[in-house]
Structure 1
Amino acid sequence: MNDELGFEGEPFDPLAEDEPQRTPEPATVRPAGTGTAVVAREVRSAVATAHRNALNAQVLLQARTLRRAGVALAASRFVDAVDGRIRPISALSPAPAVPFVTTEGRFKPLARTDKAELGRDDLRRLTGGDIAGVFGPAYSQPGCNPSVKLAADAALLLSEVTRIELRGGSSGRGLLVASAGPLDGTPESLLASATQAAEVLALHLGLHLCLADAVFAPGDGSGRAARCEIDLVRPGPLAAAQIRLDVTDVDLVPRPHLRADVEFRSGGAVTGRVAGLSLALVEKPGVPVGPARGGVPPAFLGRYSAAGEPTVLSEFHIAHFARGSHGTAFGPEFEHYSDRRATRVPDRGLTLMDRLVTLDGERGALDGAKYETEYDSPADSWYYADTANASMPNMIYMETSLQSALSIGYFLGPTLADPDAPVSLRNLGGTATVLREVDLRDKTIRQRSELLSTTLNNGASLQSFTYTMHADGEPFYTGETMFGYFSEAAMANQTGLDAGRSVPTWLEQQNPLPATRTIDVAARRADPAAPLCARDHLALLDEVQVVDGGGEHGKGYLRAVRRIDPADWFFARHFPRDPVIPGSLGVETVIQAMQEWVLDAGWDEGMTEPGFILPVGAPFTWKYRGQFLPTDGAATLEVHIKDVRRGPGRVRVTGDASVWKPGLRIYELTDIAVELREEGAQPW
């Protein structure tokens, strides 16, 4: 194959992994905000009672555990755990502002529960490790994680959890509100109770579900010393305190962890703060977390499928494939890819594969492998909110199916024959057909794929696949596709679909130019009440030019230009360290132009509850021979309407389309179709 692409990647600092654990740095000593002698008298008076001594002993036990694990404390006031003396420590440093996370970038929990409040009995069950008993069967993990418990080996300081919001908090990353007490008011007591609140939220998110035998530990699981800062705003014992835990980060890399700022209130006033609290789930020594050489897990790695089967790879491994250690993701043969531009799955909100459930094949045997993957599609996913469709947009159908194919095709080792050769992965095309209309909100998509062949051709390794996606046990989408792994030399010579020739659009070839009219998409989108309108991350077009009765078939012609901004959100996701516009997003842009034309032409007339769907039984073919880079400036598309089909409560529009980067036609779409239907309309 002589179709070639071109891109030179950007340097990117690799993640620091597996660093040896270091001794925490000592806190900087500064004068405390209050007189030391006054504070000393207050604390000595408080610790005089037997009850306080007993409580201190419990809290200090947990504090020593945290210190042994490498946590460093910085506090405005602090009672030394060894000699009981009061030592002034640095005041709380100003916390850096945490940007609000967009819907696309939100962390997707590994399990979901409706339980957002926990009583004392629930908390006690969590101290015994009964996580599924509290949160539900999605958290069941038979035979795994016997040591993952709330407040393990320490006193339970929380009395209840009154609120858990997955998308709450100042940055939209999560919020937990709890009550605790009595607390002795020391930095250790604040840290211990804040840590327990973080443990509850970590369990609620299901962070433990992708490890087989883990424990809670401070930090992010990298082995670096964890450090948080504690500010005693109003020193002294607290009979009861409200804890507000505001999440600033949640991730699965390097290990499942969260980071939060915690505020304590009593009597309506702030009494203390813990800034930069971090908590991870880390494997016990010797417990494997990823595949061994050859891609075979040495033992069960802890994650079960939606149907309760042991899986081969989990969300944890896919996250590492996107932005972490490739050795952790796929086995030690892949570790050298971690610090270079290499094949990666799209990241964050564009990661649309969760688990490899079964694999009938082995690394190095590249043809004939069959496998099943899963992807959970929560109803609060960004693409449901942003699409004009009644359910999932076309680009997510495409990305989900293609990512499952490419990820396991890569896992089987097509690049390992020459592991030092830099290569870039690109989709070359395929055909797909929707088999039935289905609402995929809160569904688990099960995909069955087969790697048909792997061939070498002119510096490129090509892989072809077939796949079928299922929901509730029934197929709903099927297709075939081809991917290529291209060398730097192949990527340096991009010739597009027309052997390097610059081919103008149909409109540019007309003489004289026909009359055009413009659909103002931006103006319609500016109306919050405008129906059937793509928004936010899927706001891909501002206007569409129309030639009524134009185009190759004489039934209508559409042309649109999309400006490319290097800061566009998807460049950070697709692909990490190798940014290009997803081909599926280019297809989605064409679909939006067609949807806008359908509405502008009045095809929704007479419908009371219209909705766009992916047309059933209509094969669609795409061909890519190039890529859009952050520096390309603009993408131009054209659509030739070839058929308009009307039926009771339905209209389907089919066309052929092309997409250009400056000077080069690189996408060709055949029989691309959109359909508008009345809710409840009978099938064709």
Structure 2
Amino acid sequence: MSHTDLDFVGEPFDALALTDPAPSGPHPVPAALNVSLAGPVSDAGTAGLRAVVRELRTTAARAHEQAIRAHAALQRKALLNGGTARIERAPVPVTSEARFKPLARTAVGALDATALAALAVGDIAGVFGTQYRQDGANPDIRTSGTLLTSVTGMSLHGGPYGRGRLAARAVGAIDRDVVVDAVVQAAEVFALYLGLHLCFADATLVRGIPWLPAEPVRVEFDQELSAEHKAVDLVVDVSAVDLVPRPFLRVDAELLVGGVAVGRVAGVTVAVCEKPGVSIGPEHGGKPARWLGRLGRFGDRAMLGEFHLAQLCRGDHGIALGPEFAHYSSIKSTRPPDRGLLLVDRIMDMTGERGILSRGSHRTEYDSPADSWYYEETANASMPNCVHMESSLQAALILGYFLGPTLSASDAAVSLRNLGGTATVLREVDLRDKTIVQDSDLLSTSPVPGATLQTFAYTACVDGEPFYSGETLFGYFSDAAMANQTGLDAGRHVPTWWDAQRSRPATRTIDIVARRADPAARLVSRGHLALLDAVQVVDGGGEFGLGYLRAVQPIDPEHWVFTRHFRYDPVIPGSFGVEAVVHAMQEWLLDSGLGDDLRDPGFVLPVGLPFTWKYRGQFLPTDGQYVLEVHIKSVEHRPGRVRAVGDASMWKPGLRIYELTDIAVELREEGARPW
């Protein structure tokens, strides 16, 4: 066996990005203040904010110690893993949630010589379709040659790593250099297929990633190739793909002659890099000097795109939002959730000026492909409630953060928390393969000691019609403020209804783990949305005498959600707490038999019923467990439908921190008349 090393290819950077603790350099110490996560959304005016401040000032220091323990656990994990970046020689197969989301999609799955020749002269949209258009931008994006004579298949999630696979044939005088060049061209084709070039307006495809240390390409042959080998088939598997620090993918390839493996090429990296001097992000003040190259789903020029949101999650905040934010890149600061939990794709336009925090608005887009992880794993007939909440709240918070509420004390570590809101589903719609367009409006910004509060209103549309709307309140909290939390009840321990009974009533248990273990079981959440193991039921119990649900769920500090929400600041998303309550109610509704007369039913979000949530704390990796309870308050039937409504609370150890009003689930037959 022979080996060849070629030193021109970069290596994707990991560096324990999701578990590495924030740098511990000195920061100005915020003024000490007793502050909690608080504030009703419905009182967006001065009186409501005064009430928020009063509630903020009632609290004591419990969560700070828990946050320190959580960070210490993550630091220990980083040290056990070596504490430094390591190159993965055998990448772990990606889960459905962590799959790379392409910037464009096409029905084209194979390419002939004519199509490959078109890619070599830069006609990307002519080959793959209109989603790849750029209005004349990127004149020099093209593949580097025509060593490939055909591409016989392309799969977004194929291959042993689940990151993509391409099968191609190369014909000609075959030697080591030519084989590597052919693999490079195959990687370039797949990069264009993913739409990586759509991040920039004036870029080129390059080998390696200039910002990262170079790693050699490894070539192995089981037999020497000769002039008799007129054709080599390539099976090219993507081992890494990301938008940070620049859009890139890394591939390994197997070489076959006559269906027999004759060699391998590993570590070929191709990146999309801007030309020298070309701007790729906003200027000071947040607005780009010129269009950055991304079009929205409907052909309008986007202000910022997927590349900038990826930078905001795990990269350079200066590239994402402008140079004023650059220093936030490596410290605990405001970030959206990452990877499959990032549910905003593009900022299309914005009104408002950075530093003026009284008003502002923007329009965002989010593409919701039918193969998204949450459609595969939800019990719902369409998008689960947590994704409705997350996508709408993320769009709103990005608007508020962009305008600069934290820049006046830019060296201080800040934690962003949602404090509450009310949202209403306006119409039932299947969101698979739809683009959600959201208009978000900043209603007010109110600095209070140790925190800044912002209220928003938002409306989400699909196919030009609204389907979801709401209001919400966010807070930016200093470390001193985060150290002082006493939950919903001013630090008092308020027991669950079940614990408060003199004689605890008998319960029956719905075993969700057992249901989930049955591959034929319907209407049960699985995988990344497996949030509950069991539900205890008191038939006829609860505050309304219609049924009481209780669940005690262990918190796994290694749970996937802590790596997504947020970097340097891991907490369970509030929407996932709400989703756990939804799952408890769904399981109860099925178990109760109330929908047994429905034909082939599915769960949907109830239309026309405002749902209100209130958060006064956070679930940390070290909290051990959470407890939830639901009081069923009504059950109503309509033709082909049954709806259950309840009030709910959630506890971390010793504190009630979530309160949910009019949370509802609905089971309906396909084609049933609207509620």
TM range (shorter): 0.7 to 0.9
Contact 2:249-2:270 within 8 A present in 1 as well: yes
Task: Name the amino acid aligned to 1:360.
Answer: T
Seen in structure 2, the aligned counterparts of structure 1 residues 95 and 342 have a Cα distance that, compared at 3 Å, is closer
Q: What's the counterpart of residue 207 of structure 1?
A: 196
Amino acid at match of 1:387: T
Match of 2:113 among 104, 116, 120: 120
Find the residue that maps to 1:400 and give its secondary structure.
helix
**Which letter maps to 1:408?**
L
Match of 1:228 in 2: 217
Q: CA deviation at 1:127?
A: 1.0
> Corresponding residue for 1:110?
103
User: Structure 1: which 5+ residue stretches go unaligned?
Assistant: 14-93
The residue aligned with 2:166 is 176
Contact 2:361 2:399 in 1 (8 A): no
- Indicate which of 151, 157, 162 corresponds to 1:161: 151
CA distance in 1, matches of 2:213, 2:577: 42
Aligned partner of 1:341 in structure 2 is 332
Q: For 1:76-91, what aligned pairs fall within 5 Å after superposition?
A: none
TM-score, normalised on structure 1? 0.86
Aligned residue identity for 1:393: P
- Give the structure 2 partner of residue 359 of structure 1: 350
2:71 to 10, 14, 28: 10
Question: What's the secondary structure of 1:173's corresponding residue?
Answer: coil
Q: In the superposition, relative to structure 1, how do residues 521 and 95 fare at CA in structure 2: closer, same or farther (>3 Å)? A: closer
Match 1:521 to one of 482, 501, 512:
512
SS across alignment from 1:441? coil
The Cα offsets for residues 211-253 of structure 1, whole Å up to 9 and x where unpaired, read as 1111011123525435311223322333100011111111000
Structure 2 counterparts to residues 515-594 of structure 1, below 5 A? 515-594=506-585
Once the two structures are superposed, what CA deviation does each residue of 1:489-532 show, in whole Å capped at 9, x if it has no partner?
Answer: 11111110000111110000001111211111111111111111
The aligned amino acid for 2:221 is L
Q: Does residue 612 in structure 1 map to residue 673 in structure 2?
A: no
Q: By how many angstroms is 1:613 displaced?
A: 0.4
Alpha-carbon distance, 1:676 to partner: 0.5
Q: Select 2:299's aligned residue among 296, 302, 308.
A: 308
Give the whole-Å Cα distance in 1 for the aligned partners of 2:377 and 2:600.
18
Check whether the contact 1:190–1:272 (CA below 8 A) recurs between aligned residues.
no
Q: 1:365, 1:412 within 8 Å by CA — same for their partners in 2?
A: yes
Amino acid at match of 2:201: A
When residues 95 and 253 of structure 1 are mapped into structure 2, their CA distance, relative to the original with a 3 A threshold, is closer
- Look up the match of 2:491: 500
Which string of whole-angstrom CA distances, capped at 9 and with x for unpartnered residues, describes residues 580-601 of structure 1?
0010000000000000010011
Contact 2:570 2:621 in 1 (8 A): yes
Aligned length: 600
1:132 — aligned with what? 125
For residue 523 of structure 1, give the secondary structure of its aligned residue in structure 2: helix
Secondary structure of 1:417's aligned partner = helix
Residue identity in the other structure for 1:322: C
The whole-number CA distance in structure 2 between the counterparts of 1:455 and 1:247 is 47
Structure 1 residue 279 corresponds to structure 2 residue 270: yes
Q: Is the 8 A contact 1:95 1:275 kept in 2?
A: no
What residue is the counterpart of 1:416 in the other structure? 407
* Mean Cα deviation higher: 470-479 or 602-611: 602-611
- CA shift at 1:361, angstroms? 0.9
- The amino acid across from 2:103 in the alignment is L
> Residue 399 of structure 2 contacts residue 440 of structure 2 at CA under 8 Å; is this kept in 1?
no
Query: In the alignment, is the contact (CA less than 8 A) between 1:157 and 1:181 conserved in 2?
Result: yes
Contact kept in structure 1, 2:347 and 2:365, CA below 8 Å: yes
Cα deviations by residue, 1:388-435 (Å, 9 ceiling, x for unpaired): 000000000000000001112111110001100111000000000000
- Match of 1:10, SS state, is helix
Distance of aligned partners of 1:183 and 1:409 in 2 relative to their CA distance in 1, 3 Å threshold? farther
1:356 deviates by 0.4
Give the drift of 1:119.
0.6
**Cα RMSD between the aligned structures?**
1.4
Counting aligned pairs with the same residue, the percent is 60
User: Structure 2 residue aligned with 1:190, among 176, 179, 196?
Assistant: 179
**SS of residue in 1 equivalent to 2:542:** coil
* Native 8 Å contact 1:221 1:255 kept in 2: no
Counterpart among 227, 250, 259 of residue 259 in structure 1: 250
Q: Distance in 2 between matches of 1:491 and 1:504?
A: 24
Correspondence for 2:11: none
Contact 1:341/1:422 (8 A) holds in 2 = yes
Tell me how far apart the structure 1 counterparts of residues 210 and 372 of structure 2 sit (CA, whole Å): 27
Q: 1:272 Cα deviation (Å)?
A: 2.6
Aligned residue in 1 for 2:80 = none
Is the 1:165–1:176 contact (alpha carbons within 8 Å) kept by the matching residues of 2? yes
Partner residue in 1 for 2:665: 674
